[in-house]
Amino acid sequence: MNDRKNTLSAISLFSGAGGMDLGFERAGFDVHWSNDLDGTACETYQTNFNSENVIGPIENLAKSLKRFSEVDCVFGGPPCQGFSVAGKMDLEDPRSKLVYQFMDIISVLRPKSFVMENVPSLATLNKFSKFREQLVQHAHALGYSTDLQIFSSSEFGVPQDRRRMFFVGVLGKRDVDLRQRSHGYLKAAPSTREAISDLGIQGSDQNPCTCNAAVTIAASPVLR
């Protein structure tokens, strides 16, 4: 699934099915190790990627990662349910604490850089201001220069307005300005019609598959 020969090394946390991993591979990274708690997500990941993929709680796996000390980048999107406006926005939600677990791994591995993705509310709501400050201060104490920005997928040629927070750290005293550095990658998003108009009608060579999945409403919504 590589677009080019990769020369940079990376570790993927909270990998899910590998959405961020695909982006990092296309950007020139070789993802050596990945992890998620969800076995089904890992099964999908293993179908599409060649990196070592481990199923289980990241808290139980941190010590085994020391062999990847000084990797070029550690990236991941810790669970967002505790911060999402679609959920209860509860800092006491155990899943919210996994942001700290992400930073604990940064402190152990000392990568040259890290990228954390999460929902925009973590970056904007006053309710999370203290949490946000502690996160940034912790990264600075570890010796990282940081920036925290919100980007929409529509800014990069995707026909969807999906906004996400990105917290990035680079080891040492650096000028980390994500907004400025993104200028060379900005691309106007096509309309939905432009994006899917070449699929053809259902049953054609361009659109051969039909989704027969039943639509159900969860008794206990995941975000809650």
Indicate which residues carry an active-site annotation: 80
C-alpha 132/C-alpha 148 separation (Å) is 10
Give phi and psi for 60, each to the nearest 5: -90, -5
How far apart CA 114 and CA 11 sit, in angstroms, is 9
Three-state secondary structure call for residue 88:
coil
- Taking a C-beta distance cutoff of 8 angstroms, is the pair 59, 79 a contact? no
Are 35 and 61 in contact by the 8 Å Cβ rule? The answer is yes
